[in-house]
Structure 1
Amino acid sequence: MKIENLEDLFNHTLEDIYYAENKLVKALPKMAKACDSSALAKAFMGHCEETKEHITRLDEVFKAMGRKSKATECPAIKGILEEGEELMSEIKDPDTRDAAMIAAGQAAEHYEITRYGTLVSWAKLLGHKDVATILEKTLKEEYGADDKLTKLAESRLNKEAA
């Protein structure tokens, strides 16, 4: 994709996050299955359901923009997910593995928060107020998912790993 202006960059970033969400919807059940903590597994599966809704919202955004939904490979989310898979397979202690998976999950959440925050700002600047409203819903949920992981880590999972 040739990026010549902010509108092009906005569209490219939409394709990027669409790719990321589709990868995450496949990765989250694997992460949940590898958890020792049932609370962590539940958090990952709950966010998997939210992620499916995020994909639906992105489909709405593409439609509102007069475009077909399209994913562009995102090296950043690929790297985050590859690192998470590596940690899941290498760490044998279940408590330590759960702590690592929280960290990997939060890395993905922080990436998504960055992308959605940027998209919301650009949508407003470009005059796509309806699109910004849709994206803001997802941004709020991404912050919520990150907060849940933080609370799980701080309440007991990191302590168990220590």
Structure 2
Amino acid sequence: MATSNQNNQEMPNAHLHELFVDELKDVLGAEKQLLKGLKKMSKAAESEELRQAFDEHYSQTEGQIERLKEVFSSLGKAARGKKCKAMEGLLEEADEIIESFEGDPALDAALISAAQKVEHYEIASYGCLVTYAKLMEHTEVEELLQQTLDEEKQTDTLLTEIAMSGVNESAS
């Protein structure tokens, strides 16, 4: 620990650096876990529009993982994720929804609910990371993380639009 503090002494708010790197590892792990979950949710979705949204977010998530690798590289760190217990729980809940609502008209509405919980977790995670990067004046890293945060917010909005365009009504 002493060496990381010595290396970061000149960085503003250097006390956040270790937390920042730990959170980056967590979100990298979460994104990798999410890839599997998105495949399952896409397969289970009945609405073609929802299936397409899951497939698009899968591709977007692959890009977000690459962006996180850039962030790690920019910080001089190896891009190693760790198992994200929060994402694990959210994806377990999505699996339960798929099992419980298979063949039910409410399946797509339930999938959207599960997916939005994932998005809100990611929005919270990336929001914190953007703030930490800003406070430590990691401008390039801040921009990369902001790009991902914006994508997560757009996905959340898209899921709401799909829900409101008929998925929720057809579930009633």
TM-score (norm 2): 0.90
Picking from 128, 138, 149, the partner of 1:118 is 128
Identity %: 42
Quote the offset at 1:92 in angstroms.
3.0
Q: CA deviation at 1:73?
A: 1.5
Gaps of 5+ in 2: 6-14
Task: Identify if the C-alpha distance between structure 1 residues 94 and 41 changes in structure 2 by more than 3 Å, giving closer, same or farther.
Answer: farther
Residues 125-148 of structure 1: CA deviation (Å, up to 9, x unaligned): 011111000001111000000000
Alignment of 1:152 onto 2:155: no
Look up the SS of the partner of 1:121 in the other structure: helix
Amino acid at match of 1:123: A
Matched, 1:29 2:47: no
Do structure 1's residue 50 and structure 2's residue 37 form an aligned pair?
Answer: no
**Where in structure 2 are the equivalents of 1:39-78 lying within 5 Å?**
39-78=49-88
Instruction: Tell me the number of residue pairs that the alignment of Structure 1 and Structure 2 aligns.
Output: 160
Task: Specify the structure having the higher radius of gyration (Cα).
Answer: 2
1:80: Cα distance to partner? Answer: 0.4
After superposition, the C-alpha distances for 1:53-101 in whole angstroms (9 at most, x for unaligned) are 0000000000000001011121111100000001101113343111110
Matches of 1:87 and 1:136, distance apart in 2: 31
* 1:94-105 correspondence runs (5 A): 94-105=104-115
Partner of 1:17: 27
Which residue in the other structure is 1:135 paired with? 145
Q: Does 1:108 align with 2:122?
A: no
1:157: Cα distance to partner?
Answer: 0.3
What's the CA shift for 1:29?
1.4
- Letter of the 2:132 partner, please give it: W
Kindly indicate whether the alpha-carbon contact (under 8 Å) linking 1:16 and 1:74 is maintained by their aligned counterparts in 2: yes
CA distance in 2, matches of 1:115, 1:92: 31
The range that moved more, 4-13 or 126-135, is 4-13
Letter in 2 for 1:161: A
Give per-residue Cα distances to partners, 1:97-135, cap 9 Å, x unaligned: 111100000000000000001100100101111100000
> In structure 2, the residue corresponding to 1:72 is in which secondary structure?
coil
The code of the aligned residue for 1:27 comes to G
RMSD over aligned Cα atoms: 1.3
1:6 positional shift? 1.1
Flag structure 1 segments of 5+ consecutive residues without an equivalent.
none
